[in-house]
Amino acid sequence: MVTGSAGFIGGHVAETLSAAGHDVLGLDLRDGDDVRDAEVLDTLLPGVDVVVHQAAKVGLGVDVSDLPDYASVNVYGTAVLLAAMARHRIARLVLASSMVIYGEGDYECVWHGRVRPGPRAVPDLEQGRFEPVCPRCDEPVRCASIGEDAPPDPRNAYATSKLAQEHLTANWARETGGSAVALRYHNVYGPRMPRDTPYAGVAAIFRSELAAGRPPKVFEDGRQLRDFVHVRDVARANLAAVLASSRPGALRAYNIASGAPHTVGEMADALAAEQGGPNPEITGGYRLGDVRHIVASPERACLELGFRAEIGFDAGMKEFARS
> Could you tell me if 224 and 279 lie in one domain?
yes
Within this chain, do residues 116 and 245 fall inside the same structural domain, yes or no? no
Beta carbons of 43 and 17 less than 8 angstroms apart = no
Which residues in the chain come in under a pLDDT of 50?
Answer: none
Per-position DSSP letters for 21-70, written without gaps between them: T----EE-GGGT--TT-HHHHHHH-TT---EEE-----SS-SSGGGHHHH
Q: Are residues 110 and 258 in the same domain?
A: no
Helix axes 157-176, 77-87, angle to 10 degrees: 10
Same domain? For 211 and 228 the reply is: yes
The rounded Cα 227 to chain-centroid distance in angstroms is 11
Last residue of a domain, one of 97, 116, 145: 145
What global pTM score does this model have?
Answer: 0.97
pLDDT attached to residue 32: 82
Q: Are 94 and 42 in contact (CB under 8 A)?
A: no
- Sequential DSSP letters for 243-254: HSPP-TTEEEEE
Which pLDDT value is given to residue 143? 96
User: What is the domain count for the chain?
Assistant: 2
Instruction: Looking at the structure, tell me whether residues 50 and 159 fall in a common domain.
Output: yes
Q: Give residue 211's identity as a one-letter amino acid code.
A: A
Residues 121, 209 within the same domain: no
User: Do 140 and 154 reside in the same domain of the chain?
Assistant: no
Q: What is residue 259's DSSP assignment?
A: S
- Asked whether the beta carbons of 317 and 267 are under 8 A apart, the reply is yes
CA separation for the pair 58, 114 (Å, rounded): 30
**Does residue 111 sit in the same domain as residue 233?**
no
Distance CA 256, CA 182 (A): 10
For 71-114, the DSSP string reads: IIIIIIHHHHHHHHHHHTT--EEEEEEEGGGG-S-EEEETTTEE
> Are both 301 and 260 inside the same structural domain?
yes
Residue 199's pLDDT is 63
Q: Which domain holds residue 137?
A: 106-145
Considering the domain architecture, whether residues 132 and 243 belong to the same structural domain is answered as no
| pLDDT at 198 (0 to 100) | 64
